[in-house]
Amino acid sequence: MLQIWGRANSINVQKVMWTVGELGLEHQRHDAGGKAGGLDTPEFTAMNPHRTIPVIDDDGVAVWESAAIMRYLAAKYGAGGLWPEDPAARAAADQWAEWSHSLLQPVFLRVFQAVARTPPPKQNVQRVLTMVKRLGALYQRLDAHLENRPFVAGDQLTIGDIPAGATLYRYYAMDLPGRPDLPNLQAWHERLREREAYRQHVEVRW
């Protein structure tokens, strides 16, 4: 059975768990990282020399890096669904996944650290405003793209929706100053919230 290591409140683990939930895969998740620790054991290091979560073991195949895990699972178990079979359709999804992992998520995490992980008296208001503005400008591009499609690659949920979609629960749950009005992004978030796997794995208090 598919084994997954990682604490439920890590956004990188959430992307993997949401993928697992959408695919309906039988699995066991082991708490690891954060307070649960367990990343320095010889067994864990043998699976992932970088000692980060998430990590999976699928019938003897160990994979680390959340983006690589999502692609592995979607390609193996979600062909034609999360993982479009036509290369052009797949690229339409995958380019948004890549953009989310490499450009959106780092800015999002800076906002998250500055607000949710910093006690209010220690927060740097000016820095928060600057970072929220930068994050809003990125979400604005996604908002424009979602103007005339329900999901990033068209009519159905794909690998392209998951990494950016996973940031939205926290984005809207945090008390952020100066969030731009992004109706298409908000409507997309509502569509994602209709999915059981999103509610179960992403809507987790940090």
Q: List interacting residues with ligand GSH (CB under 6 A).
A: 10-12, 33-34, 39, 52-54, 65-67
Residue number with CB closer to ligand GSH (15 or 182): 15
* Least separation in angstroms between CB 54 and ligand GSH: 6
Q: Are 173 and 111 in contact (CB under 8 A)?
A: no
Q: Give the list of residues 6+ apart from residue 22 with CB closer than 8 angstroms, or none.
A: 78, 81, 82, 157, 162, 195, 197
* Least separation in angstroms between CB 69 and ligand GSH: 7
Q: Which residue reads 């990343």 in tokens?
A: 39
Tell me the residue number closest to ligand GSH, measured at CB.
Answer: 33
* Least separation in angstroms between CB 104 and ligand GSH: 13
Q: Structure tokens of 67? A: 């983006």
Residue number with CB closer to ligand GSH (63 or 182): 63
Judge if the upstream peptide bond of residue 119 is cis by omega within 30 degrees of 0.
no
* Least separation in angstroms between CB 147 and ligand GSH: 29
Burial class (CB within 10 angstroms; exposed 0-12, middle 13-18, buried 19+) of 35: exposed
Residue number with CB closer to ligand GSH (92 or 109): 109
